[in-house]
């Protein structure tokens, strides 16, 4: 009974993490932290797997509808998918959900096969050189696929790397650009940075959609017959995500960037492939944890830290991967994600019936309330507001540019520098 309740909690918190801007899986886990300390390893997985999976399914809904990213991987959907959605490609919602489901099934197969695979092959994926190559590849993808002039994109990437490196880097033990300020040692927090640079400018130019519940139902039904047409995109996105998943911390971003690059001729294809990619990368990112007891994403690190108190994790994971538990959890999360996306998409159509000014006010309130809440939780509300206000002018200045290169390079700035330093030794 407790396990079922935890699974339901995982699903609900996955919806929460995917839907509310700025609140990703890691933040949701932090909010549930006291509960996590009471759980067994299996119960932690029963909670975590649906949460991580459902958040990816749901994250694309606000991204496509309102151009508000629910997750950091949703930027491809917001930037390249939202405009298509407004123009009438409402089938993007069911197609991305189906793509995510395909990725989930493929991941379940890989996870199920783990006991039969040669472990050593995974060591190569964990090597610094491989990660460094993927980061460089991602940078090239961002420049090649951005809608900006390549010089502008390169400048954005350079700026993102500088801004993202501000603060204390625990991997190198060095401070950068703090000017002796304690708050800057924390770095520039991602959430207010993204809100200033991307979310607020996009809310201000929010377009209206003519999508209704009926058109959404029709889109879902039509997508079933169109499924075959996009199947190869879903598979390619899933495979890319699987490989990129091995990149520590930023694997999902590497995956969506590469998926976008390979399908840049068609925005629709690239969004479907990217949304498939982020679902498969969250599961392959778990492979080092299951095989070697090495967590590589923030959520996994948290789960690992909680569980290692009571368990010999390597032994426990070896036992768990020999059972049906993981594939069953992954598949059931995928089925629920697919099913839940439909009513959620229908519900969102009614939000669009609101007058545009009211809609903008509602979104502004939700985003700013989330920002303040996150600031208070982290005991740095004033710093969050300061960062927001400091970057608003830049957001305004870049409102008509594709700022994805800037945001993505900001996110992977610290790890890039760390990997680069390691390569140089």
Partner 1 sequence: MKKLIITLFMTLVFVTKSVALDLIVPASAGGTYHKFASIIADDLKTQGYEINLVVAGNCVIGKKQWQDSESAIMINSEATNAVSKCHVTITEKNYAHNIFTAGWVIVSRNNSLGERMGVVSYMKNTVKDLDVKLVPYKNTTEIKAAFLAGEIDSAFLTTGRANEIENKVELINTQSEDKGDFASWKNNDLTLNYYLLSKNVGGEIIAIIKNNKTLIAIASKKNMIPITHDQLNTQVGYLKRNEEKWK
- Binding residues for partner 1, rule: CB under 8 A, are 26, 29-30, 33-34, 37, 123-124, 126-128, 167-168, 170-175, 182-183, 185-186, 248, 288, 292-296, 298, 301-302, 304-306, 309-310, 312-314, 364, 368, 372, 376, 378-382, 385, 418, 421-422, 425
Q: How far is the CB of 315 from partner 1 (least distance, A)?
A: 10
CB of 106 to partner 1, least distance (A): 24
- Residue 360 or 401: the one with the smaller Cβ distance to partner 1 is 360
**What's the closest the beta carbon of residue 321 comes to partner 1, in angstroms?**
16
Q: 72 vs 199, 258, 274, 411, CA distance in Å?
A: 12, 15, 12, 9
User: Please, what is the minimum distance in Å from the beta carbon of residue 249 to partner 1?
Assistant: 10
The rounded distance, in Å, linking the Cα atoms of 372 and 380 is 9
Residues written for the chain: 425
Residue closer to partner 1, measured from CB, 130 or 227: 130
Residue with Cβ nearer partner 1 (185 or 332)? 185
Output the furthest CA–CA distance in the chain (Å, rounded).
60
When computed from its CA atoms, the radius of gyration of the chain, rounded to whole angstroms, is 20
Residues paired with residue 176 on neighbouring β-strands, in sequence order? 167
Is the Cβ–Cβ distance between 337 and 56 less than 8 Å?
yes
H-state helical runs in 181-248 = 182-185, 190-194, 200-204, 213-244
Spatial CB neighbours of 178, under 8 Å, sequence gap ≥ 6: 166, 167, 168, 184, 185
Nearest CB to partner 1, comparing residues 42 and 380: 380
For partner 1, which is the closer residue by CB, 239 or 313? 313
Nearest to 92 by CA among 216, 243, 191, 179: 216
Alpha-carbon distance of 202 to 207, in angstroms, equals 9
Closer to partner 1 by CB, 8 or 30: give it.
30
Q: Kindly tell me which of 41 and 404 has the beta carbon lying closer to partner 1.
A: 41
Q: Are strands 174-176 and 167-169 parallel, antiparallel or unpaired?
A: antiparallel
CA 11 to chain centre: 16
Tell me the three state secondary structure of residue 167: strand
């Amino acid at each position: 009974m407790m396990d079922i309740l935890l699974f339901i909690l995982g699903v609900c918190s996955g919806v929460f993490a995917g839907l509310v801007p700025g609140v990703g899986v890691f933040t949701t886990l932090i909010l549930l932290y006291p509960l996590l300390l009471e759980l067994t390893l299996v119960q932690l997985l029963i909670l975590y797997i649906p949460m991580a999976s459902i958040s990816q399914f749901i994250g694309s809904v606000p991204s496509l509808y309102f151009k508000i990213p629910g997750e950091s991987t949703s930027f491809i959907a917001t930037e390249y998918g939202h405009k298509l959605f407004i123009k009438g490609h409402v089938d993007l919602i069911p197609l991305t959900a189906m793509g995510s489901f395909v990725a989930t099934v493929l991941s379940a197969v890989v996870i199920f096969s783990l006991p039969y695979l040669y472990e050593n092959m995974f060591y190569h994926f964990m090597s610094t050189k491989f990660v460094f190559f993927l980061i460089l590849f991602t940078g090239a993808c961002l420049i090649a696929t951005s809608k900006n002039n390549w010089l502008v994109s390169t400048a954005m990437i350079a700026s993102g790397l500088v801004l993202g490196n501000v603060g204390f880097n625990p991997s190198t033990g060095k401070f950068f650009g703090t000017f002796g300020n304690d708050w800057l040692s924390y770095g520039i927090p991602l959430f207010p940075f993204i809100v200033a640079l991307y979310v607020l400018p996009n809310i201000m130019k929010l377009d209206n959609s003519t999508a209704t519940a009926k058109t959404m139902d029709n889109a879902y039904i039509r997508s079933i017959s169109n499924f075959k047409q996009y199947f190869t995109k879903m598979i390619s996105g899933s495979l890319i995500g699987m490989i990129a998943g091995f990149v520590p911390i930023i694997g999902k971003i590497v995956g969506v960037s590469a998926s976008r690059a390979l399908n840049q001729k068609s925005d629709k294809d690239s969004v479907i492939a990217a949304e498939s990619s982020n679902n498969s990368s969250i599961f392959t990112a778990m492979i080092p944890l299951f095989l070697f007891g090495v967590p590589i994403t923030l959520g996994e690190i948290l789960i690992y830290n909680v569980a290692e108190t009571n368990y010999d994790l390597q032994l426990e994971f070896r036992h768990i991967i020999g059972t049906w538990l993981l594939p069953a959890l992954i598949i059931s999360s995928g089925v629920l994600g697919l099913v839940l996306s439909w009513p959620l998409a229908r519900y969102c159509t009614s939000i669009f019936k609101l007058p545009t000014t009211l809609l903008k006010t509602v979104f502004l309130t939700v985003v700013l309330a989330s920002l303040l809440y996150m600031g208070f939780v982290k005991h740095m509300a004033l710093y969050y507001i300061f960062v927001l206000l400091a970057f608003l002018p830049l957001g305004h200045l870049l409102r008509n540019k594709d700022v994805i290169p800037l945001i993505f390079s900001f996110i992977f700035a610290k790890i890039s520098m760390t990997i680069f330093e390691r390569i140089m030794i």
